[in-house]
């Protein structure tokens, strides 16, 4: 946004032509790398800088993308990374951090102020990798996160013991595999939006998360939105948007 203001001021002051300003604005929308077009304007439009999906990228492409985004933003957030990719990038970025549980690979800039509260809940401990992807995404984007793990419906008293904390959150992320009932239970007990995340955790009839997905989509509880199977990042992003709105955050 600052760059756009500078360009408009230059036009107003007569130091830049309208044609030159239009060309600068067009160039500022994305950075052409040949094999990729980095959306360097995304943060000014949406409040969130572009995030890197690391899985499947060649070493050369991944290195180039991280260098370009770091030069632009001073920080980079990547998901679904491998340890080998971490070791590759560590050679150029000694400060890079890798969490093998969530598979997040990030370079953090200056310390952020955290706002609000998001509750990230799991049905079981096997769901934690997906939950951590959600929680760490939200934290990276400036949300305060409360983790409430292993509170599935097979022992409902565990969830009830933390219900007061969950009700304080501006948004709840419910991560569950097997039959995926946790989101419905929480949805019926809180006044906040619930983002349901089905996971691929479960036995054969779980169908790699499809049964949990269908349960969550067909929930009779109100206020539940559902993201894709194992999509912790998507849940963390949406939860951050809700949390920002609840806190009156302005882009």
- Please state the φ and ψ torsions of residue 120, each to the nearest 5 degrees: -110, 115
CATH number of 115-246: 3.40.50.1970
What pLDDT, on the 0 to 100 scale, is given for residue 208?
95
Q: pLDDT tens, 223-234?
A: 999 999 999 999
Domain ranges of the chain: 29-107, 115-246
Bridge-based pairing of strands 52-53 and 76-79 is parallel
Is the torsion defined by CA of 192, 195, 196, 197 positive or negative? Answer: negative
Q: Angle, nearest 10°, between helix axes 18-27 and 2-13?
A: 170
- Whole-number Å distance between alpha carbons of 32 and 133: 29
Give, in degrees to the nearest 5, the angle at Cα 199 between 198 and 203.
Answer: 115
What pLDDT, on the 0 to 100 scale, is given for residue 27?
59
Give, in degrees to the nearest 5, the angle at Cα 146 between 143 and 147.
Answer: 125
Q: Is 168 helix (H, G, I), strand (E, B) or coil?
A: helix
What pLDDT, on the 0 to 100 scale, is given for residue 110?
78
What pLDDT, on the 0 to 100 scale, is given for residue 69?
86
Bridge-based pairing of strands 171-176 and 115-122 is parallel
Lowest mean pLDDT among 71-75, 97-101, 168-172, 217-221: 71-75
Q: pLDDT tens, 136-157?
A: 999 999 999 999 999 999 899 9
What pLDDT, on the 0 to 100 scale, is given for residue 215?
95
Tokens encoding 235: 């849940």
- Whole-number Å distance between alpha carbons of 149 and 129: 11
For residue 32, pLDDT over 60 is answered with no
Q: pLDDT tens, 45-100?
A: 767 777 899 999 999 999 998 998 888 888 899 999 999 999 999 999 999 999 99
**pTM for the structure as a whole:** 0.85
Q: Is 52 helix (H, G, I), strand (E, B) or coil?
A: strand
């Amino acid at each position: 946004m600052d760059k756009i203001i500078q360009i408009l001021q230059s036009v107003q002051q007569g130091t830049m032509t309208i044609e030159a300003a239009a060309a600068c604005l067009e160039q500022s929308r994305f950075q052409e790398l040949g094999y990729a077009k980095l959306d360097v304007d995304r943060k000014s439009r949406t409040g969130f800088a572009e995030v890197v999906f690391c899985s499947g990228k060649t070493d050369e492409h991944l290195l180039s993308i991280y260098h370009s985004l770091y030069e632009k933003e001073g920080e980079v957030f990547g998901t679904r990374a491998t340890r080998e990719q971490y070791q590759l990038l560590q050679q150029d970025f000694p400060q890079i951090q890798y969490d093998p549980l969530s598979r997040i690979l990030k370079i953090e800039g200056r310390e952020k102020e955290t706002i609000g509260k998001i509750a990230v809940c799991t049905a079981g401990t096997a769901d934690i990798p997906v939950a951590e992807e959600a929680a760490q995404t939200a934290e990276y984007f400036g949300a305060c996160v409360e983790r409430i793990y292993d509170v599935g419906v097979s022992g409902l008293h565990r969830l009830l013991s933390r219900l007061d904390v969950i009700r304080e959150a501006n948004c709840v992320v419910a991560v569950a595999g097997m039959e995926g009932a946790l989101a419905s239970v929480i949805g019926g007990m809180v006044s906040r939006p619930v983002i349901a995340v089905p996971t691929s955790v479960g036995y054969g009839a779980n169908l790699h998360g499809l049964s949990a997905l269908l349960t969550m989509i067909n929930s009779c509880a109100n206020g539940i939105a559902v993201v894709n199977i194992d999509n912790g990042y998507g849940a963390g992003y949406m939860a951050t948007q809700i949390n920002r709105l609840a806190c009156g955050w302005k882009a």
